[in-house]
Chains A and B, each alone.
Chain A
């Protein structure tokens, strides 16, 4: 007997490739979404700082905008710079 696979419909979950589980600003899971968003994933992406800390893009943007003139990383207090 030989078995021929005609179709294999698999199931996977996606996850952000980040060290932490939750966003340091909103405390929500990275695999969830920020409080302003309804859909996770592409619609509410993560962003890394030069210090290698990750946040929801929407969360850090709000944070940066509120910190004038110079914003610092909420986790390590280093000057905030988006990772190039």
Chain B
């Protein structure tokens, strides 16, 4: 454009005569000299009149645009020399300083502040002078136009055009010479000033709360929270007034305005925006920290209102605009925005720009807090329920940002790294799983993300052998399990879940109103209690709610397996009781019935009923002693009476298979049992008793010379030790034969007495035969007298591998063994088969004796047993016969 207009101007020269040319040349030279003198005159405007006349004469020759071009080019060259180069030279000292260092050192930072003010002052002064010169040209051009024309021209268009061209020149000169570190210097400056401001504001803040107890931080924090949304007009006004008059804000405002004048509008705003965000981030980290037991979200929002928004308000007011730079409609000022006196966030509507800032800051704060909490979610859940305030914060953050997937990914990797490792006990994993469900259902009531997070835990637990046992213990046993775990001690998980459910039911209707008032009003009116036979997989009456029990049962696969395991554990417990006290078992059974249905628990109910019946029968039998039978009187002579004998009488069809092993119990006791059975038969004809002599508990007292020791032991232990009354030394073969058990069983179980220091063991020539000798006081008086008079208890089930009841795996193996031949035959015929094909074939062909009724999982675990016995092998999901 400019080049084209110059050419056309020069075209005029062709049509003029020599004299004119000389005149033009003289005027041009004069104009150039005057321009140079003007621009380098440093305030000396004495060449002014000469300059104007040269402009006029050149304009007369229609060389106006040539004049403008030359003048602007001169301005550009001068600005490059006197403006930009000098401006940048101020910052040379910081060329190689890293930003981090700049902001760390207060001296450095103070230096930056001073240098920036000086540099901006200098360059602004130069620019003002040049603008003055440019204005002189504008006037010269204007006065020429006025002289040749009757009508008055509007000079504004020309002036605006030239000034905007000049502004462009200034910006592009600075931009093209911009040193790389300048934005960092700006960032550092704003960061420093904002921190200073924040400190001042914090002081103001404290003053506001002067009447409150300053020593108590928690209380202070609460007061801050209570301010939210209630900042009254007075306070708002004062704070605003304070900031408007604040020198610091004015200084910052001046820097921003100077930078805008130089064309650094967006760079300046980027710099203070990033400083604000950095400050906010620090604030969030400071407030949140590693404390999960109090909510911080409100304090953060409060701080955003109190510091950055108030600052922005003051800044925008100083700059005279109320719309932020990134507002796409900044050209169209809203009528409301033109009232900068409106008090934010008071009664008047705040400016659009400030609202945008608030939204940006809050989003950033939510996201920062959310990331912080997600990174520590594992710890937070370990700390649950004490950490529920942090969970509540996280919930709100996620609702705002919608970044739930971040939580899922991060938490799953934390689980893999920290929990799902060989070192973690199954109990710990289960408790963390339950805490995870409890914590995350707050965030995720529908359980969608919980499903994703729970999957790796469930998968991992399925690979552990003791999972079912631990689950049953956790559900039903309030004393064992995890003593360090969260929740009330002495309360089983089932008890807790039940209590929660009752609470929910009471509070449920009110709660629901928050979610969807209308729909839930309808639901509330239609409310019906759950059917007693609730299916845990379907959750409680509210389908949206996360069902903790269902998620736990989900680990095992089916409730039947869980119930089976419970039955075995219950049997073990009941058979090792030395009394009939089953109150806690009855309570647990009631809870299990609620969740798994009455019919599933039928057998357990009969087992407990057996204990109740046994107690009654036992006392009925004892009541018959007053009419002594023949045997009874005989026994009186041996020193043991029926008084010492109690019995648990079971309905064996409903109990898990009992480990029935032969045992010769001591003669007098054997006679007692016979007497007891006889009396039972008399009362309960035609029912009779079959003793399981290896089961039960015996409390006995070992009487040494000078000391007495009591033990509670299994009948086998009693039988062993009683043999040492008449004969103090036994070989294992003889002893085993005498009490009627295999030698290996004896050798294993006799360890109990050896470990208690009652018996000692010595090897003879035959390595399979041992000699056991009673440790007499005379032999080692020092060692044993320590125990004198003490009473030791042994819970029989403590002994590794000694159980009264067959385990679930053993039972399954026994039941499946009949199909082994059939499976081997199939594989011989077909070569290889997949799991489900074997399953379906068994279902099709094994209809009787006994019909095949096992689940796919049960078949799988049986087959993997055959694989480990090296009868089968498995490749790519196909089973083969092992060759």
Contact = CB atoms under 8 A, between A and B. Distances in A.
A25 B718 CA distance: 45
Contacts of A32: 653-654
Interface stretch (B66-74, B137-145, B623-631, B698-706): B698-706
Contacts of A9: 577-579, 645-648, 696-698
Interface stretch (A15-23, A58-66, A73-81): A15-23
A7 B644 contact: yes
A53 to B, nearest CB: 14
Nearest to B647: A10
B701 A15 contact: no
B690 A15 contact: yes
Contact of A10 (B606, B609, B648): B648
B699 A7 contact: yes
Interface string A31-69: 110000011111000101000000000000000000000
Interface of chain B: mostly helix, strand, loop or mixed: mixed
Given A11-B575, A12-B677, A6 B689 contact: no
Interface of chain A: mostly helix, strand, loop or mixed: strand
Contact of B696 (A8, A41, A46): A8
A8 B645 contact: yes
A5 B718 contact: yes
Interface stretch (B721-729, B764-772, B869-877): B721-729
A12 B721 CA distance: 23
Interface residues of B, number: 61
A18 B577 CA distance: 30
Contacts of A3: 700-703, 718, 721-722, 725
B640 interface: yes
Interface stretch (B8-16, B327-335, B680-688): B680-688
B701 A4 contact: yes
Contact of A16 (B579, B609, B687, B774): B687
Interface in B608-649: 609, 613, 640, 644-649
A80 to B, nearest CB: 19
B710 interface: yes
Nearest to B695: A11
A9 B457 CA distance: 43
Contacts of B715: 8, 10
B688 A14 contact: yes
A10 B687 CA distance: 18
A70 interface: no
B684 A14 contact: yes
B692 interface: yes
Nearest to B722: A3
A46 B644 CA distance: 32
Interface residues of A, number: 28
A1 B677 CA distance: 31
B650 to A, nearest CB: 5
Given A8-B696, A41-B613, A17 B688 contact: yes
Given A7-B644, A8-B698, A13 B652 contact: yes
A40 B602 CA distance: 12
B609 A39 contact: yes
B678 interface: no
Interface string B430-468: 000000000000000000000000000000000000000
B688 A40 contact: no
B711 to A, nearest CB: 10
Contacts of B651: 13-14, 31, 40-41
A11 B648 contact: yes
Question: Which residue, A29, A41, A42, A46, has most C-beta atoms of chain B within 10 A?
Answer: A41
Contacts of B613: 41-42
Contacts of B653: 29, 31-32, 40
A18 B653 CA distance: 16
A32 to B, nearest CB: 5
Contacts of A5: 640, 644, 669, 698-700, 718
B673 interface: yes
Question: Which residue, A11, A17, A48, has most C-beta atoms of chain B within 10 A?
Answer: A11
B339 interface: no
B325 interface: no
B669 A8 contact: yes
Question: Which residue, B577, B669, B673, B700, has most C-beta atoms of chain A within 10 A?
Answer: B700
Contact of A4 (B645, B681, B689, B703): B703
Interface string B581-616: 000000000000000000000100110010001000
Contacts of A13: 649-652, 655, 658, 689-690, 692
B640 A10 contact: no
A17 to B, nearest CB: 4
A17 B687 contact: yes
B536 to A, nearest CB: 23
Contacts of A8: 644-646, 669, 672, 696, 698-699, 715, 718
> Ordered nearest first, which 5 A-B pairs have the shortest CB separation?
A13-B652, A11-B695, A7-B699, A17-B686, A12-B689
23 contacts: A1-B704, A3-B700, A3-B722, A5-B669, A5-B699, A8-B645, A8-B672, A8-B715, A9-B578, A9-B697, A10-B676, A10-B693, A11-B649, A12-B677, A15-B688, A29-B653, A31-B651, A31-B652, A31-B653, A40-B606, A41-B613, A42-B613, A48-B686
Given A3-B725, A13-B690, A31-B651, 10 more contacts: A4-B701, A6-B699, A7-B699, A9-B697, A10-B715, A11-B647, A17-B688, A31-B652, A32-B653, A38-B602
